[in-house]
Structure 1
Amino acid sequence: MELQQMRYVVAVADLRNFTRAAKKCLVVQSALSHQIARLEKELGARLFDRTSRHVRLTAAGEAFLPAARQALDAAERARAEVAAAAGEVSGRLAIGAIPTLCAVDIPAALREFHLRHPKVRIDLKEGPSKDLVQGVQDGTLDVAFLGVLPSYRPKGVSDHELARGELAAVVAPTHPLAREAEVDLERLAAETFVDYPEGTAARAQSEEAFEASGLTRMVAFEVSGTDFIVRLVRSGLVVALLPAAFAAELAGVTVLPVRDAPARTERLVWSRFRPAPAAAAFLTGLGIDTEAAADRP
Structure 2
Amino acid sequence: MELRQLEYFVAVAEEANFTRAAERVRISQSGVSAQIRQLEHDLGATLIDRSGRRATLTAAGAVVLEHARAVLSSAQALRRAVDDVNGLIRGRLVVGMVTACTVTPFFDALAAFHLAHPGVELVLFEDNSDRLIEGVRTGSADLALVGTAVATPDGVRAMPIISERLVAIVADGHPLAGRRGASLAEIAEFPIVCLPPGTGIRTVFDQACADGGVKPDIALQASAPGAIMDLAMRGLGVAILSESMAVPHQERLSVLMIDDVETHAVLALIWPTTTNPALQELVRYGRTAFGGGT
* TM-score, L = length of structure 1: 0.59
SS in 1 for 2:231: helix
What is the CA–CA distance in structure 2 between the aligned matches of 1:250 and 1:149, rounded to whole Å? 24
**How far apart in 1 are the matches of 2:242 and 2:100?**
7
Report Cα offsets for 1:44-83 as digits up to 9, x if no partner.
Answer: xxxxxxxxxxxxxxxxxxxxxxxxxxxxxxxxx9997774
* Offset, 1:139: 2.4
Matches of 2:80 and 2:228 in 1, distance apart? Answer: 41
Instruction: State the distance in 2 between where 1:160 and 1:224 align.
Output: 23
The superposition leaves residues 94-122 of structure 1 with CA deviations (integer Å, 9 ceiling, x where unpaired) of 22122576987322322333343344333
| Pair 1:241-2:247 in alignment | no
* Aligned position for 1:268: 269
Whole-angstrom CA distance in 1 between matches of 2:78 and 2:234: 52
What stretches of structure 2 of length at least 5 have no aligned partner?
1-76, 289-294
Q: Distance in 2 between matches of 1:79 and 1:244?
A: 49
TM superposition shift of 1:218: 0.9
Q: List per-residue Cα deviations over 1:221-253 (Å, max 9, x = no partner).
A: 234443432332222111121111222234754
- Identity among equivalent positions (%) equals 30
Q: Which amino acid aligns with 1:255?
A: V
Give me the CA root mean square deviation: 3.2
Counterpart Cα distance in 2 of 1:253 and 1:78:
61
Query: C-alpha distance in 2, partners of 1:103/1:166?
Result: 18
Deviations 1:113-140 (A, max 9, x none): 3343344333322221111012212323
Q: Is the 8 A contact 2:136 2:272 kept in 1?
A: yes
- Give, in whole Å, the separation in 2 of the partners of 1:220 and 1:211: 18
Q: Which residue of 2 is the match for residue 208 of structure 1?
A: 207
- 1:162-199 per-residue CA deviation (whole Å, 9 max, x = no partner) reads 44221111222443323223333232111100223345
TM-score (norm 2): 0.60
Counterpart of 2:137, as a letter, is: Q
In structure 1, stretches of 5+ residues that fail to align are 1-76, 289-297
Query: Structure 1: which amino acid aligns with 2:168?
Result: A
Offset from partner CA, 1:252-295 (integer Å, 9 cap, x none): 5433222223422233221222x23332111112349xxxxxxx
Letter in 1 for 2:273: R
Describe the shift of the 1:215–1:123 C-alpha distance in structure 2 as closer, same or farther (beyond 3 A).
Answer: same
Output the amino acid matched with 1:183: A
Contact 1:89 1:278 in 2 (8 A): yes
Matches within 5 A, 1:91-130: 91-99=91-99, 105-130=105-130
